Chain A
Amino acid sequence: MRKRLILVGVVVAAALALLTSQVRLPERRAVGPLGGAVLAALGPAQTLLARLGDSVARMWRLYTEIGQLRTENRRLREEVERLSEEVTRLREQAQATQRLERLLAFRRQLPGRAIGARIISRELSQWFSVVVIDRGARDGVSRNAPVVAADGLVGRVIAVTPTTAQVMLITDARSAVGVVLQQSREAGVVDGAGERLLRLKYVSRAREIALGELAISSGLGGVFPRGLPVGVVTSVVREQGAVYQEARVRPAVDLDHLEEVLVVIEARPDR
Protein backbone atom coordinates (compact mmCIF):
# COMPACT_ATOMS: atom_id res chain seq x y z
CA MET A 1 0.00 0.00 0.00
CA ARG A 2 2.81 2.33 0.90
CA LYS A 3 4.53 1.57 -2.36
CA ARG A 4 1.38 2.47 -4.19
CA LEU A 5 1.01 5.74 -2.35
CA ILE A 6 4.60 6.59 -3.13
CA LEU A 7 3.99 5.82 -6.79
CA VAL A 8 0.90 8.00 -6.81
CA GLY A 9 2.89 10.74 -5.13
CA VAL A 10 5.55 10.50 -7.79
CA VAL A 11 3.00 10.80 -10.57
CA VAL A 12 1.37 13.76 -8.79
CA ALA A 13 4.73 15.43 -8.45
CA ALA A 14 5.47 14.81 -12.11
CA ALA A 15 2.15 16.27 -13.16
CA LEU A 16 2.68 19.28 -10.91
CA ALA A 17 6.14 19.82 -12.31
CA LEU A 18 4.80 19.60 -15.82
CA LEU A 19 2.07 22.05 -14.99
CA THR A 20 4.28 24.60 -13.30
CA SER A 21 6.83 24.40 -16.07
CA GLN A 22 4.33 25.23 -18.76
CA VAL A 23 1.52 27.14 -17.21
CA ARG A 24 3.10 30.57 -17.28
CA LEU A 25 4.61 30.32 -20.69
CA PRO A 26 2.09 28.92 -23.13
CA GLU A 27 4.37 29.77 -26.03
CA ARG A 28 6.86 27.26 -24.69
CA ARG A 29 4.27 24.53 -24.61
CA ALA A 30 6.16 21.46 -25.69
CA VAL A 31 4.27 18.22 -26.01
CA GLY A 32 7.41 16.16 -26.43
CA PRO A 33 7.95 13.14 -28.66
CA LEU A 34 5.38 11.01 -26.83
CA GLY A 35 2.76 13.73 -26.97
CA GLY A 36 3.55 14.39 -30.61
CA ALA A 37 3.18 10.72 -31.43
CA VAL A 38 -0.11 10.51 -29.56
CA LEU A 39 -1.43 13.61 -31.29
CA ALA A 40 -0.28 12.32 -34.67
CA ALA A 41 -2.01 9.01 -34.03
CA LEU A 42 -5.22 10.64 -32.81
CA GLY A 43 -5.39 13.20 -35.62
CA PRO A 44 -6.99 10.98 -38.28
CA ALA A 45 -9.42 9.50 -35.77
CA GLN A 46 -10.40 12.99 -34.64
CA THR A 47 -10.86 14.11 -38.23
CA LEU A 48 -12.95 11.08 -39.08
CA LEU A 49 -15.10 11.46 -36.01
CA ALA A 50 -15.48 15.18 -36.52
CA ARG A 51 -16.64 14.58 -40.09
CA LEU A 52 -19.02 11.92 -38.86
CA GLY A 53 -20.26 14.31 -36.20
CA ASP A 54 -20.69 17.05 -38.78
CA SER A 55 -22.65 14.71 -41.02
CA VAL A 56 -24.90 13.71 -38.16
CA ALA A 57 -25.30 17.35 -37.16
CA ARG A 58 -26.08 18.28 -40.77
CA MET A 59 -28.65 15.51 -41.01
CA TRP A 60 -30.18 16.59 -37.73
CA ARG A 61 -30.27 20.19 -38.90
CA LEU A 62 -31.85 19.06 -42.15
CA TYR A 63 -34.41 17.02 -40.25
CA THR A 64 -35.33 19.94 -38.01
CA GLU A 65 -35.33 22.28 -41.00
CA ILE A 66 -37.72 19.97 -42.82
CA GLY A 67 -40.09 20.24 -39.89
CA GLN A 68 -39.73 24.01 -39.87
CA LEU A 69 -40.18 24.13 -43.63
CA ARG A 70 -43.32 22.05 -43.39
CA THR A 71 -44.76 24.44 -40.84
CA GLU A 72 -43.64 27.41 -42.90
CA ASN A 73 -45.06 25.84 -46.04
CA ARG A 74 -48.42 25.23 -44.37
CA ARG A 75 -48.48 28.79 -43.09
CA LEU A 76 -47.58 30.19 -46.51
CA ARG A 77 -50.21 28.03 -48.21
CA GLU A 78 -52.82 29.36 -45.84
CA GLU A 79 -51.54 32.86 -46.50
CA VAL A 80 -51.69 32.30 -50.27
CA GLU A 81 -55.23 30.94 -49.98
CA ARG A 82 -56.26 33.89 -47.86
CA LEU A 83 -54.66 36.35 -50.27
CA SER A 84 -56.20 34.59 -53.28
CA GLU A 85 -59.60 34.90 -51.68
CA GLU A 86 -58.84 38.53 -50.93
CA VAL A 87 -57.74 39.17 -54.53
CA THR A 88 -60.86 37.45 -55.88
CA ARG A 89 -63.03 39.46 -53.55
CA LEU A 90 -61.32 42.72 -54.47
CA ARG A 91 -61.44 41.92 -58.19
CA GLU A 92 -65.11 41.13 -57.84
CA GLN A 93 -65.60 44.36 -55.94
CA ALA A 94 -63.71 46.32 -58.59
CA GLN A 95 -65.79 44.81 -61.38
CA ALA A 96 -68.98 45.48 -59.48
CA THR A 97 -67.87 49.06 -58.90
CA GLN A 98 -67.12 49.45 -62.60
CA ARG A 99 -70.50 48.05 -63.55
CA LEU A 100 -72.28 50.23 -61.04
CA GLU A 101 -70.39 53.31 -62.23
CA ARG A 102 -71.49 52.63 -65.79
CA LEU A 103 -75.00 52.00 -64.57
CA LEU A 104 -74.95 55.22 -62.62
CA ALA A 105 -73.72 57.15 -65.64
CA PHE A 106 -76.45 55.55 -67.70
CA ARG A 107 -79.07 56.41 -65.11
CA ARG A 108 -78.28 60.09 -65.51
CA GLN A 109 -79.22 59.81 -69.18
CA LEU A 110 -82.49 58.08 -68.45
CA PRO A 111 -85.77 59.94 -68.52
CA GLY A 112 -87.49 59.94 -65.16
CA ARG A 113 -86.30 58.20 -62.02
CA ALA A 114 -84.54 54.88 -61.91
CA ILE A 115 -83.44 52.65 -59.09
CA GLY A 116 -80.69 50.11 -59.07
CA ALA A 117 -81.54 46.45 -58.55
CA ARG A 118 -79.58 43.26 -58.24
CA ILE A 119 -80.56 40.09 -60.07
CA ILE A 120 -81.25 37.42 -57.51
CA SER A 121 -82.66 34.64 -59.65
CA ARG A 122 -82.94 33.55 -63.27
CA GLU A 123 -85.32 31.45 -65.29
CA LEU A 124 -83.80 30.96 -68.68
CA SER A 125 -85.65 28.11 -70.33
CA GLN A 126 -86.08 27.58 -74.04
CA TRP A 127 -89.16 29.75 -74.11
CA PHE A 128 -89.06 32.03 -71.16
CA SER A 129 -86.33 34.43 -70.22
CA VAL A 130 -87.20 35.87 -66.86
CA VAL A 131 -85.01 37.19 -64.06
CA VAL A 132 -85.96 38.17 -60.52
CA ILE A 133 -84.63 41.40 -59.03
CA ASP A 134 -84.36 42.43 -55.41
CA ARG A 135 -86.62 45.43 -55.73
CA GLY A 136 -90.38 45.36 -55.50
CA ALA A 137 -93.50 47.40 -54.91
CA ARG A 138 -92.05 48.85 -51.71
CA ASP A 139 -89.36 50.48 -53.79
CA GLY A 140 -91.80 51.85 -56.29
CA VAL A 141 -91.47 49.12 -58.88
CA SER A 142 -94.66 48.49 -60.82
CA ARG A 143 -95.78 46.22 -63.62
CA ASN A 144 -94.40 47.09 -67.07
CA ALA A 145 -91.67 49.22 -65.59
CA PRO A 146 -88.80 49.24 -68.10
CA VAL A 147 -85.60 47.60 -66.96
CA VAL A 148 -82.31 48.70 -68.44
CA ALA A 149 -78.59 48.13 -68.07
CA ALA A 150 -75.66 50.34 -68.94
CA ASP A 151 -75.60 48.99 -72.51
CA GLY A 152 -79.27 49.24 -73.23
CA LEU A 153 -82.68 47.71 -72.79
CA VAL A 154 -83.08 44.57 -70.67
CA GLY A 155 -86.82 44.01 -70.50
CA ARG A 156 -89.83 44.94 -68.43
CA VAL A 157 -91.38 44.03 -65.15
CA ILE A 158 -94.14 41.47 -65.45
CA ALA A 159 -94.89 40.71 -61.81
CA VAL A 160 -94.22 42.52 -58.56
CA THR A 161 -94.10 41.46 -54.94
CA PRO A 162 -93.42 43.91 -52.12
CA THR A 163 -89.72 43.10 -52.16
CA THR A 164 -88.96 41.51 -55.54
CA ALA A 165 -90.01 41.77 -59.13
CA GLN A 166 -89.95 39.47 -62.15
CA VAL A 167 -88.43 40.94 -65.27
CA MET A 168 -89.19 39.52 -68.68
CA LEU A 169 -86.11 39.89 -70.83
CA ILE A 170 -86.35 41.11 -74.40
CA THR A 171 -85.25 37.64 -75.54
CA ASP A 172 -88.37 36.06 -74.04
CA ALA A 173 -90.70 34.68 -76.72
CA ARG A 174 -93.51 36.85 -75.31
CA SER A 175 -91.55 40.09 -75.59
CA ALA A 176 -92.05 42.74 -78.28
CA VAL A 177 -90.37 46.13 -78.39
CA GLY A 178 -91.05 48.91 -80.84
CA VAL A 179 -87.74 50.06 -82.37
CA VAL A 180 -86.26 52.47 -84.87
CA LEU A 181 -83.10 51.69 -86.80
CA GLN A 182 -80.66 54.43 -85.92
CA GLN A 183 -79.29 55.14 -89.44
CA SER A 184 -82.10 54.23 -91.80
CA ARG A 185 -84.74 55.49 -89.37
CA GLU A 186 -86.97 52.58 -90.41
CA ALA A 187 -89.39 51.48 -87.69
CA GLY A 188 -90.08 47.88 -86.70
CA VAL A 189 -90.73 45.51 -83.85
CA VAL A 190 -88.14 43.42 -82.10
CA ASP A 191 -89.52 40.11 -80.88
CA GLY A 192 -87.97 37.67 -78.53
CA ALA A 193 -87.38 34.34 -80.25
CA GLY A 194 -86.66 32.33 -77.15
CA GLU A 195 -82.99 32.29 -78.06
CA ARG A 196 -80.03 34.59 -77.81
CA LEU A 197 -80.81 36.57 -80.92
CA LEU A 198 -83.86 38.76 -81.43
CA ARG A 199 -86.03 39.02 -84.50
CA LEU A 200 -86.62 42.38 -86.14
CA LYS A 201 -89.93 42.37 -87.96
CA TYR A 202 -92.24 44.67 -89.89
CA VAL A 203 -89.49 46.77 -91.41
CA SER A 204 -90.39 48.35 -94.73
CA ARG A 205 -88.44 47.16 -97.75
CA ALA A 206 -88.12 50.77 -98.91
CA ARG A 207 -84.63 51.03 -97.46
CA GLU A 208 -82.00 48.42 -96.97
CA ILE A 209 -81.02 47.52 -93.48
CA ALA A 210 -77.30 47.74 -92.95
CA LEU A 211 -75.50 45.10 -90.94
CA GLY A 212 -74.31 46.44 -87.62
CA GLU A 213 -77.03 49.01 -87.51
CA LEU A 214 -78.25 49.82 -84.04
CA ALA A 215 -81.91 49.36 -83.15
CA ILE A 216 -83.14 51.75 -80.47
CA SER A 217 -86.46 51.82 -78.69
CA SER A 218 -88.98 53.97 -80.47
CA GLY A 219 -91.02 54.85 -77.39
CA LEU A 220 -94.17 53.77 -79.16
CA GLY A 221 -96.47 51.61 -77.11
CA GLY A 222 -95.88 53.60 -73.96
CA VAL A 223 -93.83 51.00 -72.11
CA PHE A 224 -90.23 51.72 -72.97
CA PRO A 225 -88.62 55.14 -73.08
CA ARG A 226 -87.43 56.31 -76.44
CA GLY A 227 -83.80 56.02 -77.54
CA LEU A 228 -82.62 53.03 -75.49
CA PRO A 229 -80.26 50.70 -77.39
CA VAL A 230 -82.00 47.39 -78.03
CA GLY A 231 -79.59 45.52 -80.25
CA VAL A 232 -77.39 45.40 -83.33
CA VAL A 233 -78.42 43.93 -86.67
CA THR A 234 -76.38 40.83 -87.44
CA SER A 235 -78.18 39.48 -90.50
CA VAL A 236 -80.96 40.56 -92.84
CA VAL A 237 -83.58 38.41 -94.56
CA ARG A 238 -85.29 39.84 -97.63
CA GLU A 239 -87.68 37.27 -98.99
CA GLN A 240 -88.92 37.59 -102.55
CA GLY A 241 -92.43 38.97 -102.68
CA ALA A 242 -92.63 39.72 -98.96
CA VAL A 243 -93.99 43.08 -97.86
CA TYR A 244 -91.51 43.52 -95.05
CA GLN A 245 -87.94 42.59 -94.54
CA GLU A 246 -86.70 40.87 -91.42
CA ALA A 247 -83.41 40.85 -89.55
CA ARG A 248 -81.60 39.15 -86.71
CA VAL A 249 -80.59 41.39 -83.89
CA ARG A 250 -78.03 40.70 -81.18
CA PRO A 251 -79.16 42.28 -77.89
CA ALA A 252 -77.15 45.34 -76.90
CA VAL A 253 -76.95 44.01 -73.37
CA ASP A 254 -75.16 40.78 -72.51
CA LEU A 255 -78.21 39.25 -70.91
CA ASP A 256 -76.43 36.03 -69.95
CA HIS A 257 -74.08 37.85 -67.62
CA LEU A 258 -76.30 40.47 -66.20
CA GLU A 259 -75.90 41.23 -62.48
CA GLU A 260 -77.22 44.71 -61.84
CA VAL A 261 -79.95 46.59 -63.62
CA LEU A 262 -81.86 49.83 -63.38
CA VAL A 263 -85.64 49.89 -63.06
CA VAL A 264 -87.16 53.00 -64.48
CA ILE A 265 -89.95 53.75 -62.09
CA GLU A 266 -91.06 57.07 -63.47
CA ALA A 267 -90.59 56.80 -67.19
CA ARG A 268 -91.38 59.46 -69.73
CA PRO A 269 -91.55 57.60 -73.07
CA ASP A 270 -91.83 60.79 -75.05
CA ARG A 271 -88.46 62.17 -74.02
Chain B
Amino acid sequence: MLARTALLLGLLITGTVVDGAWLARLPLRASPDLSILVVLAAALRYGLLPGALLGAAAGYLRDLVGGSPLGLYMLSYLLVGAAAGAVAPAVDLQQRAVAPAAAFAGVAALALVTAGLVTLTGVAAVHWVRLTGEVLLTGALTAVLAGLADRAVRAVDHLTRRRYAGRVISHGVLR
Protein backbone atom coordinates (compact mmCIF):
# COMPACT_ATOMS: atom_id res chain seq x y z
CA MET B 1 0.00 0.00 0.00
CA LEU B 2 2.77 2.38 0.97
CA ALA B 3 4.88 1.49 -2.07
CA ARG B 4 1.91 1.93 -4.35
CA THR B 5 1.14 5.32 -2.83
CA ALA B 6 4.77 6.36 -3.16
CA LEU B 7 4.93 5.24 -6.78
CA LEU B 8 1.67 6.97 -7.63
CA LEU B 9 2.87 10.14 -5.93
CA GLY B 10 6.10 9.81 -7.90
CA LEU B 11 4.10 9.56 -11.11
CA LEU B 12 2.06 12.55 -10.04
CA ILE B 13 5.10 14.65 -9.25
CA THR B 14 6.72 13.68 -12.54
CA GLY B 15 3.51 14.57 -14.37
CA THR B 16 3.27 17.93 -12.62
CA VAL B 17 6.89 18.82 -13.31
CA VAL B 18 6.71 17.71 -16.94
CA ASP B 19 3.44 19.62 -17.32
CA GLY B 20 4.80 22.87 -15.99
CA ALA B 21 8.41 22.78 -17.05
CA TRP B 22 8.03 21.28 -20.48
CA LEU B 23 4.60 20.74 -21.97
CA ALA B 24 3.27 24.15 -20.96
CA ARG B 25 6.29 25.78 -22.62
CA LEU B 26 5.82 24.07 -25.96
CA PRO B 27 4.58 26.40 -28.68
CA LEU B 28 1.09 24.89 -28.60
CA ARG B 29 -2.10 26.71 -27.78
CA ALA B 30 -2.74 24.22 -24.98
CA SER B 31 -0.88 21.43 -23.29
CA PRO B 32 -2.01 18.00 -22.12
CA ASP B 33 -2.69 17.59 -18.39
CA LEU B 34 -0.63 14.64 -17.21
CA SER B 35 -1.67 15.10 -13.58
CA ILE B 36 -5.34 14.55 -14.29
CA LEU B 37 -4.41 11.45 -16.27
CA VAL B 38 -2.68 9.92 -13.26
CA VAL B 39 -5.53 10.92 -10.96
CA LEU B 40 -8.16 9.47 -13.29
CA ALA B 41 -6.27 6.26 -13.95
CA ALA B 42 -5.77 5.71 -10.22
CA ALA B 43 -9.33 6.71 -9.32
CA LEU B 44 -10.86 4.36 -11.89
CA ARG B 45 -8.67 1.56 -10.66
CA TYR B 46 -8.77 2.06 -6.89
CA GLY B 47 -12.02 3.92 -6.24
CA LEU B 48 -13.35 6.98 -4.47
CA LEU B 49 -10.98 7.63 -1.57
CA PRO B 50 -7.69 7.04 -3.38
CA GLY B 51 -9.02 9.07 -6.28
CA ALA B 52 -9.97 11.95 -4.01
CA LEU B 53 -6.71 11.89 -2.05
CA LEU B 54 -4.55 11.60 -5.16
CA GLY B 55 -6.64 14.38 -6.72
CA ALA B 56 -6.05 16.57 -3.69
CA ALA B 57 -2.33 15.88 -3.89
CA ALA B 58 -2.24 16.59 -7.61
CA GLY B 59 -4.19 19.82 -7.17
CA TYR B 60 -2.05 20.91 -4.26
CA LEU B 61 1.07 20.32 -6.31
CA ARG B 62 -0.35 22.29 -9.19
CA ASP B 63 -1.31 25.11 -6.88
CA LEU B 64 2.17 25.09 -5.41
CA VAL B 65 4.08 24.89 -8.65
CA GLY B 66 1.71 27.01 -10.72
CA GLY B 67 1.26 29.82 -8.25
CA SER B 68 -2.55 29.67 -8.24
CA PRO B 69 -4.43 30.33 -4.99
CA LEU B 70 -3.71 27.37 -2.74
CA GLY B 71 -6.72 25.11 -2.57
CA LEU B 72 -8.19 26.06 -5.95
CA TYR B 73 -6.84 23.22 -8.04
CA MET B 74 -6.61 21.07 -4.93
CA LEU B 75 -10.39 21.19 -4.61
CA SER B 76 -10.97 20.83 -8.37
CA TYR B 77 -8.75 17.79 -8.80
CA LEU B 78 -10.08 16.35 -5.59
CA LEU B 79 -13.67 16.58 -6.78
CA VAL B 80 -12.84 15.19 -10.22
CA GLY B 81 -10.80 12.36 -8.70
CA ALA B 82 -13.58 11.57 -6.25
CA ALA B 83 -16.18 11.60 -9.02
CA ALA B 84 -14.07 9.30 -11.17
CA GLY B 85 -13.59 6.99 -8.20
CA ALA B 86 -17.32 7.02 -7.53
CA VAL B 87 -18.19 5.90 -11.05
CA ALA B 88 -15.30 3.44 -11.23
CA PRO B 89 -17.38 0.33 -10.40
CA ALA B 90 -19.53 1.00 -13.46
CA VAL B 91 -16.59 1.43 -15.81
CA ASP B 92 -15.03 -1.43 -17.76
CA LEU B 93 -11.32 -0.63 -17.81
CA GLN B 94 -10.66 -3.27 -20.45
CA GLN B 95 -12.41 -1.18 -23.07
CA ARG B 96 -9.86 0.67 -25.17
CA ALA B 97 -11.90 3.83 -25.48
CA VAL B 98 -12.36 4.20 -21.74
CA ALA B 99 -9.04 5.84 -20.96
CA PRO B 100 -9.21 8.54 -23.70
CA ALA B 101 -12.90 9.19 -23.04
CA ALA B 102 -12.30 9.46 -19.30
CA ALA B 103 -9.37 11.80 -19.97
CA PHE B 104 -11.45 14.08 -22.15
CA ALA B 105 -14.36 14.04 -19.68
CA GLY B 106 -11.96 14.59 -16.79
CA VAL B 107 -10.37 17.62 -18.45
CA ALA B 108 -13.79 19.06 -19.19
CA ALA B 109 -15.02 18.42 -15.67
CA LEU B 110 -11.87 19.88 -14.18
CA ALA B 111 -12.23 23.02 -16.28
CA LEU B 112 -15.89 23.38 -15.29
CA VAL B 113 -15.23 22.90 -11.60
CA THR B 114 -12.25 25.24 -11.64
CA ALA B 115 -14.22 27.86 -13.58
CA GLY B 116 -17.04 27.50 -11.08
CA LEU B 117 -14.69 27.96 -8.15
CA VAL B 118 -13.00 30.92 -9.83
CA THR B 119 -16.41 32.50 -10.38
CA LEU B 120 -17.54 31.73 -6.88
CA THR B 121 -14.44 33.10 -5.22
CA GLY B 122 -14.24 36.03 -7.64
CA VAL B 123 -10.54 35.47 -8.26
CA ALA B 124 -10.87 36.21 -11.95
CA ALA B 125 -13.37 36.52 -14.75
CA VAL B 126 -14.12 33.42 -16.80
CA HIS B 127 -14.13 33.76 -20.59
CA TRP B 128 -16.33 30.87 -21.53
CA VAL B 129 -15.65 30.85 -25.27
CA ARG B 130 -11.91 30.80 -24.73
CA LEU B 131 -12.32 28.23 -22.01
CA THR B 132 -14.34 25.99 -24.34
CA GLY B 133 -11.60 26.15 -26.96
CA GLU B 134 -8.94 25.36 -24.39
CA VAL B 135 -10.97 22.47 -23.00
CA LEU B 136 -11.41 20.97 -26.46
CA LEU B 137 -7.73 21.25 -27.29
CA THR B 138 -6.43 20.20 -23.89
CA GLY B 139 -8.97 17.38 -23.78
CA ALA B 140 -7.90 16.10 -27.17
CA LEU B 141 -4.17 16.28 -26.33
CA THR B 142 -4.74 14.66 -22.95
CA ALA B 143 -6.87 11.93 -24.48
CA VAL B 144 -4.03 11.08 -26.82
CA LEU B 145 -1.74 10.41 -23.84
CA ALA B 146 -4.39 8.65 -21.76
CA GLY B 147 -3.31 5.17 -22.79
CA LEU B 148 0.24 5.92 -21.68
CA ALA B 149 -0.84 7.08 -18.22
CA ASP B 150 -3.18 4.13 -17.85
CA ARG B 151 -0.32 1.81 -18.71
CA ALA B 152 1.93 3.54 -16.16
CA VAL B 153 -0.65 3.17 -13.39
CA ARG B 154 -1.25 -0.43 -14.42
CA ALA B 155 2.48 -1.03 -14.19
CA VAL B 156 2.51 0.45 -10.68
CA ASP B 157 -0.39 -1.81 -9.79
CA HIS B 158 1.36 -4.83 -11.24
CA LEU B 159 4.64 -4.04 -9.51
CA THR B 160 3.12 -3.51 -6.09
CA ARG B 161 0.79 -6.52 -6.28
CA ARG B 162 3.56 -8.91 -7.17
CA ARG B 163 5.68 -7.60 -4.37
CA TYR B 164 3.03 -8.07 -1.67
CA ALA B 165 1.42 -11.24 -3.00
CA GLY B 166 4.61 -13.22 -3.20
CA ARG B 167 6.10 -12.49 0.19
CA VAL B 168 6.22 -15.33 2.74
CA ILE B 169 5.61 -13.79 6.14
CA SER B 170 5.21 -16.86 8.33
CA HIS B 171 5.59 -20.60 8.44
CA GLY B 172 3.10 -22.72 10.26
CA VAL B 173 1.13 -25.93 10.18
CA LEU B 174 -2.60 -25.86 9.74
CA ARG B 175 -4.41 -28.35 11.82
Chain A residues at the B interface, C-beta cutoff of 8 Å: 4-5, 7-8, 11-12, 15-24, 26, 29, 31, 35, 38-39, 42, 45-47, 49-50, 52-54, 57
Assess whether B71 is in contact with A46, with CB atoms less than 8 Å apart. Answer: no
Contact between A23 and B123, CB atoms less than 8 A apart: yes
Interface residues of B (CB under 8 A from A): 13, 16-18, 20-22, 25-27, 48-49, 52-53, 56, 59-61, 64-65, 69-72, 74-75, 78-79, 82, 117, 121-123
- The answer on a CB contact under 8 Å between A46 and B75 is no
Residues of A within 8 A of B56 (CB): 11, 15
Chain A nearest Cβ from B14, distance in angstroms = 8
A23 CA to B124 CA, complexed, in Å: 10
Contact: A53 with B26, CB < 8 Å? yes
B86 to chain A, nearest CB (A): 9
Closest to B23 in A: A53
A29 x B69 contact (CB < 8 A): yes
Please state if A53 and B70 are interface contacts (CB–CB under 8 Å): no
Q: Pick the most buried of B16, B21, B22: most chain A CB atoms within 10 A of its CB.
A: B21
Do most interface residues of chain B lie in helix, strand or loop, or is the interface mixed?
Answer: helix
Task: Assess whether B72 is in contact with A49, with CB atoms less than 8 Å apart.
Answer: no
Q: Are the CB atoms of B13 and A26 closer together than 8 Å?
A: no
Q: Is the CB of A57 within 8 A of B69?
A: no
B64 touching A35 by the CB < 8 A rule? yes
Q: Which residue of A lies closest to B65 (CB)?
A: A42
| Chain A residues positioned under 8 Å from B26 (CB to CB) | 53, 57
A15 / chain B contacts, CB cutoff of 8 Å: 56, 59, 71, 74-75, 78
Residues A46 and B121 in contact, CB atoms below 8 Å apart: no
CB distance from A196 to the nearest CB of B (A): 71
Report Cα–Cα, A50/B25, bound state, in Å. Answer: 8
Contacts of A57 in B (CB 8 A): 25-27
Q: A23-B121, A24-B121, A46-B17 are in contact. List 15 more A-B contacts (CB 8 A).
A: A8-B78, A11-B56, A11-B78, A12-B75, A15-B56, A16-B75, A18-B71, A19-B117, A23-B123, A49-B17, A50-B21, A50-B22, A52-B22, A53-B22, A57-B25
